[in-house]
Structure 1
Amino acid sequence: MKWNFKSNIKLKGVQILALGFIIVILVGAILLTLPISSVSGESTDFLDALFTSTSAVCVTGLVVVDTGSYWSMFGQTVIMILIEIGGLGFMSFTTLIAILLGKKITLRERLILQDAMNTFNIQGLVKMVRYVLVFTISVQFFGALLLSTQFVPQFGPGKGVFYSIFHSISAFCNAGFDVLGKGNSLMSFNNNIVIMMVISILIIIGGLGFTVWSELYTCKSIKRVSIHSKMVILMTTVLVLGGAILMFLFEHNNSNTIADMSFIDKLMNSLFASITPRTAGFNSISTEGMSTAGQFLTIILMFIGGSPGSTAGGVKTTTIGVLIVTVISVIKGREDSEVFQRRFSKDLVYKAFTLLFVAFILVIVVTMLLSYTEKGASFIALFYETVSAMGTAGLTLGLTPELSSVGRVLIIMMMYLGRVGPLTVVLSITKKKVNSGIKYPEGKILIG
């Protein structure tokens, strides 16, 4: 019997996406183990390189070695490229290369691209990829240009330009990596309004999603904006402003964070501390020095994350939005989840609940495992680290460099699942509808 390898192995779209991320992570890890990647000129331990590569591709920002002082210019460039690929998705780059080579994009490739970009349909996908890449390069260029006005005078032309490009890409892709050294992220610039605001704006732009920006660009009237874009904008505004107000209230008397700052700097750093957990990973004030209330608020923001089709992670703003609307509708006695004179289908509500439940279970399981492997670490530090990895936020209470080998593997898995897992799980569940033709009698149980 003749064996047809091609016909017997046929991967689904979500499986190709999952494997694609793994391949990019492994290639990045191999490059980072090379002696040329480190400042010392010595080979890097594979687990450390794998952790860094996973963190970069999954645009998380958690690091076991300081990015600015440990990695050479070559290593930092590799990390920067991995961040870009991870933030935009490797399918976008694959499609761009295919377009440049004059290759026709098949229907199967368009379907995979649809999964990768999390769009409603395949119509105009290739055009959207071009738009995404042009939009990304343009935003990152202007971000780097503004950052260079601050970095070039301080670090010189060569290093200043590189720092500007690196941090612009890292902020737009919601990665949170920095090359400033000493592991202090942006704490040295927490009174620099240009750097703080540029980074904040880049994070928000990257976290809103390409679908939203494409619609806002082409839509002639605000009334014609889709329910998706309205929900994204509403939830983002509420989370950013609400988070900033709460952070200011929790930290304004905390001498370890913003108590000694001017009123304007307090407001600016409170706003930044509200924006960056969703899911960029930069910090301008000490995360370890935050009050317990501030740390818990950060955990909530990290868990929610950014919006679908963006460079951000987390369970996404629309997921939380749909569930909030559903709860309000139930309280009001309405049969359907309704908002903006539109109703959500039961399938959409089930999908939102499933995604939230899967993410929540992942956090519980990994936190429990870490509490066993990481002896001496506080619960809040373990919980914070786990949510940060799942939400691809990259913030830490100082636990990451101290993780055991098992702990590092667990966080690597969590970063990967946080970037790819919940989405692929939900897609695989919701796209396999089985109609058995049987409808069982209604069962009743007591709730609450």
Structure 2
Amino acid sequence: MIKNLEYWINKQSPARILSLGFALVILMGALLFMLPICHKANEPVDFIDALFVSTSAVCVTGLTTIPIGDTFTPIGYTILAILIQIGGLGVASVGVLFTLLIGRKVGLKTRQLVVEAMNFSSYGGVVQIMIVFLKITFFTELIGAVLSFLIFLPNYSPPAALGIGLFHSISAFNNAGFDILGAYDSLSAYANNVPMNLVTTILVIIGGFGFYALMDLYQNRFQWRYLRLNTKVVTFMTIFLLISGTILLKWTTDETWLEAWFQSVIARTAGFSTFSLAKFTQPALLVFCVLMFIGASPGSTGGGIKTTTFFAVAFQAISSTVENNRDEIFHRKFPSLVFRKALTVLFYGLAVVFVGTFLILFFEPDLDLSSVLVEVTSAFATVGSTVGITPGLSTPSKIVLMICMFIGRLGPTTIATLYIVKGMNEASYTEEDIMIG
């Protein structure tokens, strides 16, 4: 039986194994959430809500159909934190961690899963990179937990502040956006608390920056000229989006500069809130949707189409109109394959958001376009921000959002290649041009 299972697994593509692994973790989490020890006696959880919360946790999204703080017990919070941690690290990374803990050698199949999940370009040094990745994760979360504990301590007992602080650190670093403070208020009570805003945004930025880029920055002592092109693009886009997002949100809302900064960071893709999206103007919601859709950077805990994807598409669009352009920037030249990959990710991302928005508008005719667009973009980009419509959605709409979260976490191109059968192309058709624009 075990040999047959191992044979079947070895025959599957990395994309299929990753998808199946995430699906099994989600199902297990949903079943655990329904246990009486996980929720309060007067707050039963039905299967669809348990499945939704589990999907949102494993996909590090943060959308929820039930008030987490008012529904679950400390055991439920613990399971939720574990699911967020698994989702942030990724099933493949957890597999590497477990393999190392039991003292076994990391096999080729596991390495393939890591390369697929983390978008690495080669197999070289994968295990060493993953060890550093795990150390960065747990060290950063520990520091974040201590700082969060000190922030929550004035309002909670030491044991409660410790639990909330640890949960908050895990949720923030993994860009999940869950909180256990009660109701759906998120961090609105801490809107003017500078330490809370700074600790949360720093955790989100580090988690969403990309571990490969973080390692490159550290190894080269932050010296710009020695950095890889990927790190330069990630750094440039992160700074550009954070600053431009803050300015645009401050301009289009009644937020303070601190709130605008917080929301600009959170849109990339954490889902906490110190200023309700229901108070956003239509231009602000549009800006927020764009920030969510772009998301974090590759190899990070965040979602979206990724900063490098957006940069590549925008760079190609602009450079194609420049005379004698050679696709060069930061003293490096982009391979043509990068642009094709970026356009593929962009197309599938837009397709998921369009189809998801259409379906929910069909199932919920009383909702307006902007609210649904925010909800679907938030689900696909694994952000977790909402204008407040999530709890009132029908079961079909909840299923649509779960599918969007699942696709967003694994990546639309990964899902699209699940059933591709490889074969030899012995012949091809004659090439012919078409008119564009």
Give deviations 1:423-445, integer Å, cap 9, x for gaps: 4147779996966464724x232
Partner of 2:278: helix, strand, or coil? coil
- Counting only pairs closer than 5 Å after superposition, residues 161-180 of structure 1 correspond to structure 2 as 161-180=162-181
Give the alignment partner of residue 322 of structure 1, picking from 312, 315, 319: 312
Measured in 1, the distance between the counterparts of 2:146 and 2:66 equals: 28
Question: Does the Cα contact within 8 Å between 2:175 and 2:302 map onto a contact in 1?
Answer: yes
Question: Does the Cα contact within 8 Å between 1:315 and 1:359 map onto a contact in 2?
Answer: yes
Measured in 1, the distance between the counterparts of 2:307 and 2:421 equals: 22
Question: Does the Cα contact within 8 Å between 1:363 and 1:386 map onto a contact in 2?
Answer: yes
Q: Which amino acid aligns with 2:230?
A: H
Partner residue, 2:32: 31
Question: Does the Cα contact within 8 Å between 1:35 and 1:41 map onto a contact in 2?
Answer: no
Q: Which amino acid aligns with 1:228?
A: N
Measured in 2, the distance between the counterparts of 1:312 and 1:81 equals: 17
Partner of 1:393: helix, strand, or coil? coil
Measured in 2, the distance between the counterparts of 1:125 and 1:174 equals: 23
Partner residue, 1:301: 291
Measured in 1, the distance between the counterparts of 2:197 and 2:148 equals: 10
Q: Which amino acid aligns with 1:447?
A: I
Partner residue, 2:389: 399
Question: Does the Cα contact within 8 Å between 1:355 and 1:426 map onto a contact in 2?
Answer: no
Measured in 1, the distance between the counterparts of 2:424 and 2:292 equals: 35
The answer to whether the aligner puts 1:118 opposite 2:108 as a matched pair is: no
The 3 A distance-change label for structure 1 pair 444 and 423 is: closer
Instruction: Quote the offset at 1:307 in angstroms.
Output: 0.4
Measured in 1, the distance between the counterparts of 2:161 and 2:134 equals: 24
Q: Once structures 1 and 2 are overlaid, which stretch shifts more, 408-417 or 219-228?
A: 219-228
The 3 A distance-change label for structure 1 pair 246 and 430 is: farther
- Counting only pairs closer than 5 Å after superposition, residues 199-348 of structure 1 correspond to structure 2 as 199-220=200-221, 221-251=223-253, 254=254, 258=255, 266-334=256-324, 336-348=326-338
Q: Which amino acid aligns with 1:363?
A: V
Measured in 1, the distance between the counterparts of 2:264 and 2:245 equals: 5
Measured in 2, the distance between the counterparts of 1:315 and 1:429 equals: 22
The 3 A distance-change label for structure 1 pair 49 and 334 is: farther
Question: Does the Cα contact within 8 Å between 2:43 and 2:71 map onto a contact in 1?
Answer: no
Partner residue, 1:262: none
Instruction: Quote the offset at 1:92 in angstroms.
Output: 1.1
Partner residue, 1:70: 71
Measured in 2, the distance between the counterparts of 1:386 and 1:239 equals: 21
Partner residue, 1:16: 17
Question: Does the Cα contact within 8 Å between 2:208 and 2:302 map onto a contact in 1?
Answer: yes
Instruction: Quote the offset at 1:376 in angstroms.
Output: 0.8
Partner residue, 1:371: 361
Q: Which amino acid aligns with 1:174?
A: N
Partner of 1:288: helix, strand, or coil? helix
Measured in 2, the distance between the counterparts of 1:84 and 1:201 equals: 18
Structure 1: gaps spanning 5 or more residues: 259-265
Measured in 2, the distance between the counterparts of 1:411 and 1:278 equals: 18
Q: Which amino acid aligns with 1:57?
A: V
Q: Which amino acid aligns with 2:234?
A: V
The 3 A distance-change label for structure 1 pair 236 and 372 is: same
Give deviations 1:325-372, integer Å, cap 9, x for gaps: 101210103454321122222221111001000010111111111111
The 3 A distance-change label for structure 1 pair 4 and 398 is: closer
Question: Does the Cα contact within 8 Å between 1:60 and 1:281 map onto a contact in 2?
Answer: yes
Instruction: Quote the offset at 1:6 in angstroms.
Output: 5.4
Q: Which amino acid aligns with 1:179?
A: I
The percent identity for this pair of structures is 38
Instruction: Quote the offset at 1:178 in angstroms.
Output: 0.5
Question: Does the Cα contact within 8 Å between 1:52 and 1:62 map onto a contact in 2?
Answer: yes
Partner residue, 2:410: 420
Measured in 1, the distance between the counterparts of 2:413 and 2:205 equals: 21
Question: Does the Cα contact within 8 Å between 2:267 and 2:295 map onto a contact in 1?
Answer: yes
Partner residue, 2:339: 349
Q: Once structures 1 and 2 are overlaid, which stretch shifts more, 171-180 or 95-104?
A: 95-104
Partner residue, 1:147: 148
Measured in 1, the distance between the counterparts of 2:276 and 2:145 equals: 25
Partner residue, 2:129: 128
Instruction: Quote the offset at 1:40 in angstroms.
Output: 2.1
Please give the root-mean-square deviation of Cα atoms over the aligned residues, in Å: 2.0
Partner residue, 1:137: 138
Partner residue, 1:263: none
Partner of 2:320: helix, strand, or coil? helix
Measured in 2, the distance between the counterparts of 1:277 and 1:121 equals: 30
TM-score, structure 2 as length reference: 0.95
Measured in 2, the distance between the counterparts of 1:431 and 1:6 equals: 21
Measured in 1, the distance between the counterparts of 2:420 and 2:210 equals: 22
The 3 A distance-change label for structure 1 pair 249 and 6 is: closer
Partner residue, 1:159: 160
Give the alignment partner of residue 433 of structure 2, picking from 406, 419, 444: 444
Partner of 2:60: helix, strand, or coil? coil
Measured in 1, the distance between the counterparts of 2:420 and 2:130 equals: 25
Measured in 1, the distance between the counterparts of 2:354 and 2:69 equals: 32
Question: Does the Cα contact within 8 Å between 1:111 and 1:122 map onto a contact in 2?
Answer: yes
Partner of 1:369: helix, strand, or coil? helix
Q: Which amino acid aligns with 1:290?
A: F
Instruction: Quote the offset at 1:43 in angstroms.
Output: 4.5
Question: Number of paired residues?
Answer: 433
- Counting only pairs closer than 5 Å after superposition, residues 23-62 of structure 1 correspond to structure 2 as 23-40=24-41, 43-62=44-63
Measured in 1, the distance between the counterparts of 2:430 and 2:53 equals: 50
Instruction: Quote the offset at 1:14 in angstroms.
Output: 1.1
Give deviations 1:278-314, integer Å, cap 9, x for gaps: 1000011011011111111111111110000000000
Question: Does the Cα contact within 8 Å between 1:34 and 1:42 map onto a contact in 2?
Answer: no
The 3 A distance-change label for structure 1 pair 419 and 143 is: same
Measured in 2, the distance between the counterparts of 1:314 and 1:150 equals: 30
Partner of 2:328: helix, strand, or coil? strand
Measured in 2, the distance between the counterparts of 1:28 and 1:4 equals: 26
Question: Does the Cα contact within 8 Å between 1:176 and 1:282 map onto a contact in 2?
Answer: yes
The answer to whether the aligner puts 1:389 opposite 2:379 as a matched pair is: yes
